[in-house]
Structure 1
Amino acid sequence: MSPFARKQRYCRPFTGVTYFKPRGIPLSSLEINVLNLDELEAIHLCDYEDLDQAEAAKKMKISTSTLQRLLYSGRRKVIDALYCSKAIEIIKHEQILERQIKICRYGYRKRNQCLKK
């Protein structure tokens, strides 16, 4: 256990499946890699949304060095599961806060200002 408490991190709401596994192999006979939701969010922001690490760290409200550690551990777990035919379980810790999407009175997502005035 770490000597310091985990800092709160901001991630998008995750309602997807919690397990990914190789096809045709029962889950009970597989090793499981546990992927934390903050690791998944870091991979999503940097690799899928193609943000640089500084922007992704700002969105998650963490330092860039913390983001780099999340990317390293998350990518390592995913690659290990793909190459070694392991299952991936996605879990959420209590320290993860879900980012809220703000909606204006016209039903649009808020950015800096509303699209309709």
Structure 2
Amino acid sequence: MGRPKIPRVICGTPADSCFKPNGIPMQQLEQVFLEPDEFEALRLVDHQGMQQLQAAATMGISRQTLANLVKSARHKVSDCLIHGKALMLHTQD
């Protein structure tokens, strides 16, 4: 059994819950899910231009955890762009 997940501070929310290629029905697309903490890490580092140490402190996690989240999020986004998959974004309730 793994360690319990440390709660993460997530302030940003996606503008939409899904991004997909034009002209292809959703039923025909493979879906890739971007978790809220992956979205927040990507938003802080790539959009706001924060250094990873600062972004990690903002989220209340270690720098290594943040780096893992950014790497995972970038992989998912590039997979969707390269292979024409739908990117599904979880929104906070």
**If the length of structure 2 is used for normalisation, what is the TM-score?**
0.92
2:2 alignment partner, SS class: coil
Q: Aligned AA for 1:49?
A: Q
The alignment status of 1:36 with 2:44, answered yes or no, reads no
CA–CA separation in structure 2 for the residues paired with 1:46 and 1:13: 12
CA–CA separation in structure 1 for the residues paired with 2:56 and 2:7: 13
CA RMSD of aligned residues (A): 1.7
The alignment status of 1:88 with 2:82, answered yes or no, reads no
CA–CA separation in structure 1 for the residues paired with 2:66 and 2:23: 34
Say which structure is richer in helix. 2
Q: For 1:1-117, what aligned pairs fall within 5 Å after superposition?
A: 3-14=2-13, 16-91=15-90
Could you list the runs of 5+ residues in structure 1 that have no partner in the other structure? 95-117
Larger radius of gyration: 1
Q: Aligned AA for 1:48?
A: H
**Which segments of structure 1 move beyond 6 Å, counting only runs of 4 or more?**
none
Say which structure is richer in strand. 1
Could you list the runs of 5+ residues in structure 2 that have no partner in the other structure? none
Q: How many residues align?
A: 93
The higher relative CO (CA closer than 8 Å, separation ≥ 6) is in 2
What percentage of aligned pairs have identical amino acids? 35
Q: Is the 8 A contact 2:13 2:92 kept in 1?
A: no
> How far off is 1:16 after superposition?
2.6
CA–CA separation in structure 2 for the residues paired with 1:75 and 1:30: 19
CA distances 1:23-57 after superposition (whole Å, capped 9, x unpaired): 11111100001100110111111111111000000
Q: 1:15–1:70: structure 2 CA closer, same or farther, 3 Å change rule?
A: closer
**If the length of structure 1 is used for normalisation, what is the TM-score?**
0.74
